[in-house]
Amino acid sequence: MLFENPTIKEILKHYRVIWALGHARGLMGWDSETYMPRMGVEERSIAAAEIAVLSQKLLLEPKFVELVEKASSMEGLNEYERGVVRVLERAIRIYKKLPPSLVAEKAATSQKAKAVWREAKEKNDFDMFKPYLAKLVELNRQTAEYLGYEEHPYDALLDLYEEGLKTREMERIYDAIIPASRSVLEKVLEEGYYPQHHPLEDERYDAKALEEVNRRILDLLGYPWDRGRLDVSAHPFTSGIGVRDVRITTRYEGFDFKRSLLAVIHEYGHALYNLQIDERFIATPLAGGASMGVHESQSRFWENMIGRTRVFVETMYPLLREKLPFLEKYEAEEVYRYFNTVRPSLIRVEADEVTYNFHTLLRFELEKQLITGEISVDEVPELWADTLDRFLGVKPRSHAEGVLQDIHWSMGAMGYFPTYTLGNVIAAQLRAHILRELPNLDELVRNAEFKPIQEWLREKIHRWGSMYPPQELLAKKLGEPLNPEYFAKYLVEKYVDKRI
Ligand code: MG
């Protein structure tokens, strides 16, 4: 038994109800993005909000908090038990420090802000969204003050998404990857081997045929259909409802088939993480990932470091060619180049591996300055355009493709974007470590033998769930701390040396 200590056992018994509410909310969230009738949205959001309040209440019940505090000062807990205490203490600390009135105001504001943002984006009207953005910045500033920080108020916000991450550390990461990304980008644009545009982006596909391809690829990757599903949603996502119920989605836009296919592989990476968590963690606080960044590293690893490789494309080529007749005109190498177009662009979610991190850096810089009050929301569109111009030499022609493109700010999420870059950086580090133990990685992919890769990820990352904070997990299991140099090297190896 993992959990022997009587106090821990009591904690887990109480926690089961909180877990059950989370389970229900997970299913409700999945449903509202897939099959819920459109008119169900209002009742669904009332129900979801009530359940959120209820689970917060259960988490902060004095009897429960006391038990967690008691366990926290206990000696002789095993590593699993200490993990349970750490996760719960952190959740309690965050909830306790934030006054309920602030939490409620943030929820209500973002509920409205999301609707306004949608309309503002459609109408390309930043002024419409501006008061909501200003309010959400102010609420985030207050959040940082209540949570407390040592160096930078933004530290407190980063920590909400990535336990322990500091502004200074994130700056160090960007310093390590941005100059390298810039020089790789210049080289790629000069050479033109990885094209800025590829004619396959305009080829129209039959959605049924592509769905068959996607399902076949998931078969080859070993996605367990008795523990998962593939459905359609406006934006692809993964829903980890339980360790044995992990569902993914993609979308079919009718052209540029890699968007749908690579989204499937991306979400598969997220799903595999949840599916390989130690089953003894079911219904405990450990049955989740280590952090947003570590989770994203799993999706990025499979999407980019498997899915976009030459050997993977070559392996899948016969299948693609069979189901997508327009590929008759294109050899495997062409499909590989199509999977890896590189261009300075305006939209983060469409950005390639070389330019992606410039987009999160832009948001990181703006968010930091908004939180300290160095800049006001009025200045954001112009600063956005100027910074992107400086980074990538492109300027948005509208607010919709500039400051209004992402949903995150309307949801009140500030401090979230850097975790995407963290995911890219961790993925490159994992790849380097996998290669040390599986130097025949290419061979494995060529034979569609993904099991050894999955097993490696299970042992190093997945099985541990949320037992360790992200930095500790990496240090423990890789034998070295997070190191962004791997990402810089990876970009050169792939895009300059063309060896991946
Ligand atoms: Mg993701």
How far apart CA 84 and CA 441 sit, in angstroms, is 35
Residue pair 402/384 in contact by the 8 Å Cβ criterion: yes
DSSP 370: H
Task: Evaluate if residue 111 carries a pLDDT over 90.
Answer: no
How far apart CA 64 and CA 7 sit, in angstroms, is 10
Q: What pLDDT shows up at residue 333?
A: 97
pTM: 0.97
Q: Is 301 exposed, middle or buried (0-12, 13-18, 19+ CB in 10 A)?
A: buried
Residue 267 CA to ligand 1 center (angstroms) comes to: 7
Residue 185 CA to ligand 1 center (angstroms) comes to: 23
Identity of residue 316: M
Helix or strand (DSSP H, E) at 291: none
Q: What pLDDT shows up at residue 46?
A: 87
How many of the other CB atoms lie within 10 Å of CB of 234? 9
Confidence of residue 451 (pLDDT cuts 50, 70, 90): very high
Task: Evaluate if residue 57 carries a pLDDT over 90.
Answer: yes
Task: Evaluate if residue 320 carries a pLDDT over 90.
Answer: yes
Average pLDDT over residues 416-438: 98
Confidence of residue 228 (pLDDT cuts 50, 70, 90): very high
Residue 458 CA to ligand 1 center (angstroms) comes to: 18
Q: What pLDDT shows up at residue 487?
A: 98
Confidence of residue 419 (pLDDT cuts 50, 70, 90): very high
How far apart CA 335 and CA 319 sit, in angstroms, is 12
Average pLDDT over residues 268-278: 98
* Structure token pair of residue 184: 């790789």
Question: Which among 163, 267, 296, 367 is annotated as catalytic?
Answer: 267
Q: What is the residue whose two structure tokens read 């993992």?
A: 2
Identity of residue 137: V
Q: What pLDDT shows up at residue 36?
A: 95
Q: What is the residue whose two structure tokens read 């909180």?
A: 18
Residue 350 CA to ligand 1 center (angstroms) comes to: 13
How far apart CA 295 and CA 307 sit, in angstroms, is 17
Q: What pLDDT shows up at residue 215?
A: 98
* Structure token pair of residue 99: 């006054």
Residue 206 CA to ligand 1 center (angstroms) comes to: 25
Residue 272 CA to ligand 1 center (angstroms) comes to: 12
Residue pair 286/87 in contact by the 8 Å Cβ criterion: yes
167-496: CATH, from 3.30.420.40, 1.10.1370.30, 3.40.190.10, 3.90.1150.10: 1.10.1370.30
* Structure token pair of residue 363: 């948001």
Identity of residue 392: L
Q: What pLDDT shows up at residue 394?
A: 97
Q: What pLDDT shows up at residue 359?
A: 98
CA atoms within 13 A on the CB side of 190: 8
Residue 328 CA to ligand 1 center (angstroms) comes to: 32
Residue 67 CA to ligand 1 center (angstroms) comes to: 35
Residue 292 CA to ligand 1 center (angstroms) comes to: 9
| Residues at Cβ < 5 Å from ligand 1 ion | 299
Residue 186 CA to ligand 1 center (angstroms) comes to: 27
User: What are 86-104's pLDDT values in tens digits?
Assistant: 999 999 999 999 998 998 8
Catalytic, 267? Answer yes
Average pLDDT over residues 381-401: 97
How is the chain split into domains, by residue range?
A: 6-126, 167-496
As a whole number, the mean pLDDT across the chain is 97
Residue pair 421/440 in contact by the 8 Å Cβ criterion: no
Average pLDDT over residues 14-22: 98
Task: Evaluate if residue 41 carries a pLDDT over 90.
Answer: no
Q: What pLDDT shows up at residue 276?
A: 98
β-strands 238-242, 245-250 pairing: antiparallel
Task: Evaluate if residue 371 carries a pLDDT over 90.
Answer: yes
The b/e string for 239-258 (b: 16+ C-beta within 10 A; e otherwise) is bbbbbebbbbbbebeeebbb
Question: Hey, is 238 helix, strand or coil?
Answer: strand
User: What are 440-449's pLDDT values in tens digits?
Assistant: 999 999 999 9
Residue 190 CA to ligand 1 center (angstroms) comes to: 30
Task: Evaluate if residue 329 carries a pLDDT over 90.
Answer: yes
User: What are 63-90's pLDDT values in tens digits?
Assistant: 999 999 999 999 999 999 999 999 999 9
How far apart CA 406 and CA 198 sit, in angstroms, is 25
Task: Evaluate if residue 193 carries a pLDDT over 90.
Answer: yes
Q: What pLDDT shows up at residue 449?
A: 98
CA distances to 177, 357, 392, 429, 442 from 425, in Å: 9, 10, 20, 6, 21
DSSP 466: T
Task: Evaluate if residue 53 carries a pLDDT over 90.
Answer: no
Residue 413 CA to ligand 1 center (angstroms) comes to: 15
Residue 423 CA to ligand 1 center (angstroms) comes to: 9
What contacts 24+ positions apart, CB below 8 Å, involve 441-446? Answer: 442/309, 442/311, 445/306, 445/309, 445/311, 445/312, 445/315, 446/311, 446/314, 446/315
Q: What percent of the chain has pLDDT over 90?
A: 94
Average pLDDT over residues 255-282: 98
Residue pair 420/170 in contact by the 8 Å Cβ criterion: no
Q: What pLDDT shows up at residue 42?
A: 85
Q: What pLDDT shows up at residue 100?
A: 85
The b/e string for 52-63 (b: 16+ C-beta within 10 A; e otherwise) is eeebbeebeeee
Confidence of residue 45 (pLDDT cuts 50, 70, 90): confident
Task: Evaluate if residue 450 carries a pLDDT over 90.
Answer: yes
The b/e string for 195-219 (b: 16+ C-beta within 10 A; e otherwise) is beebebeebebeeeebbebbeebbe
